[in-house]
Amino acid sequence: MTHDRVAGPGRIRPRRLRRSALLRDLVAETRLDVARLIMPHFVLPAEGGEEPIPSMPGIARLGVADLVRRIEADRKLGIRAVLLFGLPEEGAKDAAGTSSADPRGAVPRAVRAVKRAMGADVLVITDVCLCAYTDHGHCGLLAGEEVDNDRTLGALAAMALGHAEAGADLVAPSDMMDGRVAAIRDGLDAAGMTGVGILSYAVKYASAYYGPFRDAAESAPRHGDRQGYQMDPRNAVEAVREALLDAAEGADMLMVKPALAYLDVIRRVRDATRLPLAAYNVSGEYAAVKAAAANGWLDEARIVRENLIAISRAGADVIITYHARDALGGKWL
Ligand code: PBG
Ligand code: ZN
C-alpha cells in the first residue's frame, strides 16, 4: 500500500500544519516559558567583587551587592528564580565543612540581601552541599577515604536551616546522601520552618559535565571521585527508585541532573511521580555550547532554544540553566 489514496500522500499531509509560522505556533506541543527558568549564581563571601569564570563565559562569581544588582537586572528580563551557590572565606575550609553552616556565610548573607531588595519578586533557592566547604572537596564528612553518609546528614540539615532562616524559599540538597531529604525536612520542621520547601537533586549522576562548575565553586575532590555517592550513568531504572524515595521522604520538587545526556531519565521520572520536575542544564553543557559558538561552529541562539525545547519536551517542568540571561536578553526563546 504505497501512496494509494488512503495512505497518502494525497488526503493526509502532515506538512499542511507546517506551512506558516502562525500555524506552527498554533499546534506546537512544547512551549518555553520564562516562569519556568532558574538562573544559577556563584556568591563570594564579600560585599563586592566580580570574578569571571574562564570555563563559563558570561558567568562570574559575585560579591553580595553585585549579586543583588545582577538579579535585579535579570528580573527586568523576566528571570524570577535564582539558585545560589556559595564560596567560603579564604582559609575557612576544614574536614567537616564547618563554614557551610555559618549564618554570616556567603549564601545566608546573599539570601538576606536579595530578599531585602526584592522580597517576593524573586524566588531564592539555595544549593545545600558541603563540597565547596570541605578541605577534601567531598560532598560529605569522611570516614577514612569514604564519605560517611549518616554523619553527613546533620551537617546538611544545619546548612539548610541556616538558608531557610535567612529567607530562602526552597533549599536544594545536591549531595546524594541517602536519607538527606528526611533529615532536612525534620530539621526545618523542628525549627518551625514548615513552609520552606525542598527541591531535591534526587537523580544526580556522576558526570564529567560538572567540570566547569568545580572550577567556579572550587569544589573538586582532592582525592578520588564522587562515584560512591552520585549515580552511575548506565542506570535509568535506579533513577525512578531515587525519585520515589525522595518523594516519600518529603521532597516538594525533584531534579534530574545533568539534562541533555539524560533526556530519557527525565521522561522516566516525569512519568513515575506527581511532583514538579526540574532538570539542570549543567556547566559542561553550557561550556560546550559557548565554546562552539565562540568559534562560529554553532548558532548559539538556535542551539540554546533547541536544547531547552528538548529538555522541556522530555518532561521537565522547570529548567535550571546558565543560558537564561542570554536567552531572554537576546529574545532567543
Ligand atoms: C555540588 C554541586 C555540583 C553541581 C551542583 N551542585 C557539582 C558536583 O556535584 O560535583 C554541578 C552544577 C553544574 O555543573 O552546573 N554538589
Ligand atoms: Zn557537593
Beta carbons within 8 Å of 208's beta carbon, 6+ residues apart: 284
Look at residue 182 and tell me if it is in a domain: yes
- For the CA of 127, the nearest ligand: 1
Q: Show the domain range for 100.
A: 31-329
285 within ligand 1 shell (Cβ under 6 A): no
User: Which pLDDT does position 9 carry in this prediction?
Assistant: 76
Mutation pick for ligand 1 pocket among 61, 100, 205, 219 (CB with most ligand atoms within 8 Å): 219
**Are 10 and 3 contacting, i.e. CB atoms less than 8 angstroms apart?**
yes
Is 204 one of the catalytic residues?
Answer: yes
The CATH number of residue 39's host domain is 3.20.20.70
229 within ligand 1 shell (Cβ under 6 A): no
- pTM greater than the 0.85 cutoff: yes
Look at residue 184 and tell me if it is in a domain: yes
Report pLDDT digits (tens) over 115-124.
999 999 999 9
- For the CA of 100, the nearest ligand: 2
Look at residue 313 and tell me if it is in a domain: yes
Look at residue 3 and tell me if it is in a domain: no
CA 265/CA 267 separation, integer angstroms: 5
Closest protein CA for atom 11 of ligand 1: 210
CA 231/CA 176 separation, integer angstroms: 8
Look at residue 21 and tell me if it is in a domain: no
CA 277/CA 268 separation, integer angstroms: 11
Look at residue 17 and tell me if it is in a domain: no
| Per-position pLDDT tens, the chain of length 333 | 455 666 667 899 999 999 999 999 999 999 999 999 999 999 999 999 999 999 999 999 999 999 999 999 999 999 999 999 999 999 999 999 999 999 999 999 999 999 999 999 999 999 999 999 999 999 999 999 999 999 999 999 999 999 999 999 999 999 999 999 999 999 999 999 999 999 999 999 999 999 999 989 999 999 999 999 999 999 999 999 999 999 999 999 999 999 999 999 999 999 999 999 999 999 999 999 999 999 999 999 999 999 999 999 999 999 999 999 999 999 999
Look at residue 19 and tell me if it is in a domain: no
Give the closest residue to 253 by CA, choosing from 187, 317, 311, 190: 317
As for how many domains the chain has, the answer is 1
